[in-house]
Amino acid sequence: MAGNSGAQAGIRPALLVVISDALGETAELVAEAAASQFPGHPVEVQRFPHVTTEGDFLQVMERLLQPPAAVVYTIILPELRAAIARHLAATGVPAVDVMGPLLDGLAQRLAATPSRQPGLVHRLDARYFRRVEAVEFAVRYDDGKDPAGILRAEVVLLGISRTSKTPTSMYLAHRQIKVANVPLVPEADLPDELFQVSPRKIIGLTINPEILLQIRTERLKSLGLGSGSRYADLGRIIEELEYADRVYRRLGCSVVDVSQKAVEETANRILEIVGRA
């Protein structure tokens, strides 16, 4: 129910509250996308699903330990949307109604009345079940846990440590793509399965070595470790990247540079390459 963007020790995160009459996944994505635009400023996202009455909403607000910086909500029932907007306006809390304007616009354009049933997008929706299956697949075959996943995957991601393999896999999973990702380490043998699939579904990830050095250094700091490890050594990083490049040439696969790219940009480029955009 909670997420965090850019949290720093000793700084209390701003609170971004997500409220929904269903699961709230849509509003949470909007909230996290907004929070990501403020690097270095900690933001905590708290999601409250299944808020279906004005009383539910008031209970949520009473449970908060600090005033929210903003509230994002997806509510189907117009009466409840109006009540929430009224309460938030009275407190001066900035609020974003994700669903209301779009529902009203569609109703006017289509000359139709919406069904006003929360959670319909998840009910017997084939896309929803494919997304769940893809997410489960990505978790099961993350970080080379089981090379058999390479044969079943629709996309196979390769890359050295901290090239965004896992977050990209999860983003693609939410686009209903089954992804297996495999870490590349010069001292480890490549799985035989990589040579049994079409190179068209294999994507190699690369990155600028200086940028990766910064990422790995910050990773070590977050773990409370010193910077003396070879993991954050520029020479070692260049060695790993050169090894990865040799693997990509050997496999004949496409390569995506993730330097300065958001996960969404990397994923969309991959979808273009594999023809699923």
pLDDT in tens, 33-66: 888 898 888 999 999 999 999 999 999 999 998 8
pLDDT top residue among 107 and 273: 273
Residues above pLDDT 70, as percent of the chain: 91
| 114 & 130 share domain | no
| 166 & 265 share domain | yes
228-235: average pLDDT = 89
Under the banding of pLDDT at 50, 70 and 90, the label for residue 96 is: very high
82-97: average pLDDT = 93
Residues above pLDDT 90, as percent of the chain: 66
* Cβ pair 183, 165 in contact under 8 A: yes
Burial class (CB in 10 A: 0-12, 13-18, 19+), 189: exposed
| 118 & 155 share domain | no
| 166 & 242 share domain | yes
| 58 & 16 share domain | yes
pLDDT in tens, 235-254: 999 999 999 999 999 999 99
Does residue 7 carry a pLDDT above 50? no
| 6 & 64 share domain | yes
The pTM is what?
0.61
Under the banding of pLDDT at 50, 70 and 90, the label for residue 8 is: very low
| 103 & 152 share domain | no
| 254 & 142 share domain | yes
Structural domain tally of the chain? Answer: 2
For residue 143, what is the domain's CATH number?
3.40.50
| 88 & 164 share domain | no
131-135: average pLDDT = 91
**Can you give the pLDDT at residue 6?**
42
Q: Which domain holds residue 56?
A: 2-122
144-169: average pLDDT = 96
**Can you give the pLDDT at residue 277?**
58
Q: Could you give the CA distance from residue 32 to residue 216 in angstroms, rounded to a whole number?
A: 23
Under the banding of pLDDT at 50, 70 and 90, the label for residue 129 is: confident
| 117 & 142 share domain | no
pLDDT in tens, 191-221: 999 999 999 999 999 999 999 999 999 889 8
Choosing from 99, 122, 145, the residue where a domain stops is: 122
Least trusted range by pLDDT, from 26-35, 158-167, 196-205: 26-35
The average confidence (pLDDT) of the chain is 89
**Can you give the pLDDT at residue 3?**
47
**Can you give the pLDDT at residue 100?**
87
Choosing from 90, 122, 154, the residue where a domain stops is: 122
| 138 & 184 share domain | yes
| 117 & 136 share domain | no
Choosing from 104, 122, 140, the residue where a domain stops is: 122
For residue 19, what is the domain's CATH number?
3.40.50.10700
